[in-house]
Structure 1
Amino acid sequence: MTAPDHEPHDGPAAPAPGPDELSVRDRALLALERRPWPGPGAKERAIREELRISPVRYYQLLNALIEDERALREDPVTVNRLRRVRDARRGRR
């Protein structure tokens, strides 16, 4: 059984974010994406252990998140990098 998508880990629930703020889960997605990884296995393991979601769900959430202007305000470097990577992959298809 997995934890709900809105909680990145077990523990007390954080206060609800304001309308112009990212959720705890969204911040956790960006924080995980900022980290350097020695390989895809380590990142997938961290996704499962820290966020308690599958890697497929992680990338679904991340793709939606990088379109959110709140994410761009929160972490412009990471969001713009992810947008460039996504756009380059779309261009190759």
Structure 2
Amino acid sequence: MSRPWSRGIHERHIREGIGISPTRYWQVLTTLLRSPEARKAEPIVMRLLEEKLNRRRIARGEPPLNVTNGPMAGHEGSTSNGQQLP
């Protein structure tokens, strides 16, 4: 769960550590989540990133992305273990 003060810290780490804007960071992350190669190479990491991204989207009132090609495909609003996202 993200704390209100942590957003600014996270954005600063993205800018200083990676050298890109937070917007570009989330665009790259979304592109990776849609990459079959990345999913094949690191399925657990990619599933966790997808869940994190979807929690952020839901918190903003946006629909979750459904990019998983695995057994949870089509179960929007659920985590990989079947729990509902907050």
Under a length normalisation based on structure 1, what TM-score does the superposition of the two structures give? 0.47
Report 1 or 2 for greater relative contact order, CA contacts < 8 Å, sequence distance ≥ 6.
Answer: 1
Under a length normalisation based on structure 2, what TM-score does the superposition of the two structures give? 0.50
Structure with greater helix percent: 1
